[in-house]
Structure 1
């Protein structure tokens, strides 16, 4: 890998501006209560959805049911695996394994797989299933999905194209920051098969993200375009953020989480340095309660918060912290910030009702520019909230 970091990009973390309530660290009793409420919601929704899946975002706080066709379906299955790890209850394992059969069919029959989010789909459903149960069908499905993802690799640009047909001129040569979390599926496939092609593609993609998605000030583009033949970098844009030169909050959170997760697989310490740059930028631009607005250009005012971005960031901060030396003061600060963020989510953003089909977290944002899922539950927010609760209570082996 050939990217380099500008040391000036690492802003000092302004700890004095973080919420005072975060200074206490992990409140285990509060975390345990939050887990109990979350599991109650998972049980209600398991009965409500059966073998169907929640839609990506809710309507008036309640998810509609859908078939296994969206890029987000893995998050619900991932929640079932997390619930199984928390409880050892057979009902979660049985339901998640039924989902594994659905995901196997989906990759086999090529049902809406023409995008890079195969990692979100198959790491949380099938890699997790293989990891926790050794189910051969789960490994077979995950490997089939990894092969589909590898087909999206553009050698000239060294990236995995995000969306659409590879010949589509509107999408050709586009990468997006979300893909950081799709790459672990490729590393898993390389380890599982011994084929270095999966790893090579992931290594080149994360290099391109580090060099071009991350701006010199530590903020991030949502998307970046390359000439697919020559590999020349062209320009950055947004898709779900406020503007091309703003910093979409959930995108920044994908970076905080994704760079350290890739470090788990390739061991490049520069990814940990880079994740610190993104983490400080994110934490320095939070409003008073510490839950981000939908775009980091906003730190006050009437714009909607994005609880789902906060949940992703909390998991990323916990992943980042464990790769820093024990003596590094930022390790403790990131752990404290993540625990505080989760505590705020549990106290002020969790849905404490008992409506079947309701999400775990309120006040999320799916796609603000398109007016989709604004101030609603988002299924990835629910997943990462539960993952963060798990991370705060045990040494956890990620599905990523």
Structure 2
């Protein structure tokens, strides 16, 4: 562990002094338009194949060519309409808008239910959030504000974070548990605070990010999947895993959530501590990547065997996050470094090794949902496709000298 920490620190130092400033990679040559067109073609195949719009594509096993569907209410239900909204944004074709709207309208009533977990942000921001961003439909705004209020009810002011999994309190004896995924759902609170929902939503999101930064990371800036806190005095009890290899390992998608989450928190707060932290959690991820830039499902998984599956979803999430992160860094060499790393990931994800192409209707192959339970192992998964397309759209905006966030 000491040697790993040493090499990570060396990597961070090298980035900070700009030794990666040699601008020789083909960032501008990446065919982003053709890759978005590929996604459009694959999504059209899915749209034609699903029996009805209430069937929401979720995942596809390695040996299957048929989607496994999910229902409105699952934490992944917002990614498919989010994909459709991004395709509408890129094409301005009302066919995509109509399809996206129908699925989003089906999800919208969930905004008025009591939050059962932290996942409201995933569900609502990908569907209603993108829908409101692109159409201004007032019903979507109203739903987002209600969902934010509901999510805020899971906040524990004694601890300073949102309770992620109420069902795990008794099941795992985790009095107050916060998972790293929860960082992504703070975006809903920040958005609502900016759009009439009240300062308290901003304060909750800010405190959650601050508390998580303090307790949920190791000295090398890798994260625990789950942070467990005492509900009486709020003290941090322990960090554990649920979907990673072990309590001490770096679960790939969890680290990706951290990179994306803290980049977003800096965007919303302009607190430079969060920008610095986003870079640190990015650097440990980048320093431990294998040669092809796509992580194993857990960075420690190769300790088990050389045949452990990769996780393309973690790479897609990270690529999207690094593109945004690159726009907040004043040092041009460091900004170029993060942007190039994102493009390198997209180049690999866009290769025959990772694109589904004629094999399936999904965009990508080789993601891992829940290795420990044997769910969606080496599979095509909707959130991998969503963040892959989002990264492509963001890169296209940057190449066209636009804001990475468009009109968010």
TM-score by length of 2: 0.88
Measure the CA separation in 2 of the matches of 1:194 and 1:70.
25
Q: Give 1:33 shift.
A: 2.0
Q: Give 1:97 shift.
A: 1.6
Measure the CA separation in 2 of the matches of 1:189 and 1:165.
26
Measure the CA separation in 2 of the matches of 1:69 and 1:136.
21
Moved over 6 A (4+): 6-9
Kept in 2, the 8 Å contact 1:221–1:238? The answer is yes
Alignment of 1:58-77 (within 5 A): 58-59=60-61, 60-61=63-64, 62-77=66-81
Residue in structure 2 matching 1:318, options 316, 323, 331: 323
> Deviations for 1:331-364, whole angstroms, at most 9, x for unmatched residues?
1111111001001000120111164xx3211000
| Long gaps (5+) in structure 1 | 1-5, 16-21
Of structures 1 and 2, the one with the larger relative CO (CA 8 A, separation 6+) is 1
Matched, 1:100 2:104: yes
Matched, 1:303 2:304: no
| Long gaps (5+) in structure 2 | 16-22
Measure the CA separation in 2 of the matches of 1:398 and 1:178.
24
Measure the CA separation in 2 of the matches of 1:290 and 1:122.
30
Residue in structure 1 matching 2:377, options 374, 392, 398: 374
Q: Where does residue 155 of structure 2 map in the other structure?
A: 153
Measure the CA separation in 2 of the matches of 1:9 and 1:283.
9
Alignment of 1:134-283 (within 5 A): 134-164=136-166, 168=170, 170-283=173-286
Q: 1:279 to 1:53 in 2, by over 3 A?
A: farther
Residue in structure 1 matching 2:289, options 286, 290, 308: 286
Measure the CA separation in 2 of the matches of 1:39 and 1:298.
34
Identify which range, 162-171 or 311-320, moves more after superposition: 162-171
Q: Where does residue 121 of structure 2 map in the other structure?
A: 119
Q: Where does residue 47 of structure 1 map in the other structure?
A: 48
Measure the CA separation in 2 of the matches of 1:198 and 1:41.
38
Kept in 2, the 8 Å contact 1:31–1:343? The answer is no
Measure the CA separation in 1 of the matches of 2:281 and 2:193.
28
Q: Give 1:192 shift.
A: 1.3
Give the secondary structure class of the aligned counterpart of 1:255: helix
Q: 1:7 to 1:344 in 2, by over 3 A?
A: closer
Give the secondary structure class of the aligned counterpart of 2:60: coil
Measure the CA separation in 1 of the matches of 2:407 and 2:217.
25
Kept in 1, the 8 Å contact 2:73–2:107? The answer is no
Kept in 2, the 8 Å contact 1:164–1:171? The answer is no
Measure the CA separation in 2 of the matches of 1:219 and 1:38.
32
Q: Give 1:202 shift.
A: 0.4
Q: 1:74 to 1:265 in 2, by over 3 A?
A: same
Measure the CA separation in 1 of the matches of 2:291 and 2:377.
21
Kept in 1, the 8 Å contact 2:30–2:347? The answer is no
Q: Where does residue 26 of structure 1 map in the other structure?
A: 27
TM-score by length of 1: 0.90
Q: 1:194 to 1:275 in 2, by over 3 A?
A: same
Identify which range, 243-252 or 138-147, moves more after superposition: 138-147
Identify which range, 124-133 or 23-32, moves more after superposition: 23-32
> Deviations for 1:158-197, whole angstroms, at most 9, x for unmatched residues?
1101112597473431001111110010011111125111
Give the secondary structure class of the aligned counterpart of 2:297: coil
Measure the CA separation in 1 of the matches of 2:132 and 2:195.
11
Measure the CA separation in 2 of the matches of 1:278 and 1:153.
24
Kept in 2, the 8 Å contact 1:308–1:380? The answer is yes
Kept in 1, the 8 Å contact 2:70–2:77? The answer is no
Q: Give 1:65 shift.
A: 2.5
RMSD of the alignment, in Å?
A: 2.4
Measure the CA separation in 1 of the matches of 2:119 and 2:137.
22
Measure the CA separation in 2 of the matches of 1:305 and 1:362.
10
